[in-house]
Amino acid sequence: MDGVHGSLVDGLFIAGMTLLTGGLDSVLFWLFVVLIIRNSVIVPPGGSQFILNFAISLCYVLVAVLDVSVFQNLDDYTRRALELSSRDDTAQPFVLRMAVLLLTTLCCSGLELLLERQRLAAEEAGEFAAREGQLRSAGRLAAEFAHQIKNPLAIINNGRLSLQRAARDG
């Protein structure tokens, strides 16, 4: 659970840095994608990994909400002094970036499931090969026993036939 908390703190830290370095226009958005991929590698597969990556995506939503809120609370003089452009055209890039984050989350989760299935299939194939080898060894052992028993039985059977012939011949 320690990795989950650390990753969530990392997401909040990146959200804060993104807000400070330009908000929705910040290039630090790509660190959210990197963090989702890192979580997929570090956190064991399952529901907690998916929820954590979804929470990382929500950290970016937090950036958007705070960025728009801060921008709306600034007066015109401060906006000009900070050289901030209008936030009217942020909806489409935000939606696209959220789509990237959510698709990355889904793809990483799907990849984890595929890798888990492949690992289970390889494990089952190994078990099958081991059992097949054991059966093959048991079959060879049974054939060897049959061969070892057949030789004395053949000698006894030949002796019986020789005695029957000798008894008939007198």
- Residue 109 near residue 46, CB atoms below 8 Å: no
Check pLDDT > 80 for residue 80: no
CA pair distance 126, 141, nearest whole angstrom = 22
Task: Note whether 108 and 36 are within 8 A (CB).
Answer: yes
Look at residue 134 in the predicted model and tell me its pLDDT.
92
Mean pLDDT in the chain? Answer: 82
Which pTM does this prediction carry? Answer: 0.62
Average pLDDT over residues 98-121: 88
Assign 86 to helix, strand or coil. Answer: coil
Phi, psi (deg, nearest 5) at residue 37? -65, -40
Residue showing tokens 């370095």: 21
Nearest 5 degrees, angle CA 8-CA 66-CA 93? 90
pLDDT(126) > 90: yes
Half-sphere exposure of 143 (CA within 13 A, CB side): 6
pLDDT of residue 78: 64
Going by C-alpha positions, the residue among 21, 94, 14 that lies closest to residue 55 is 14
What pLDDT is recorded for position 136? 92
Which residue's structure tokens are 């690992």? 119
Give me the pLDDT at residue 129, please. Answer: 92
Alpha-carbon gap, residue 42 to 56, rounded angstroms:
14
Higher pLDDT, 125 or 108: 125
Query: What is the token pair recorded at 135?
Result: 């059966």
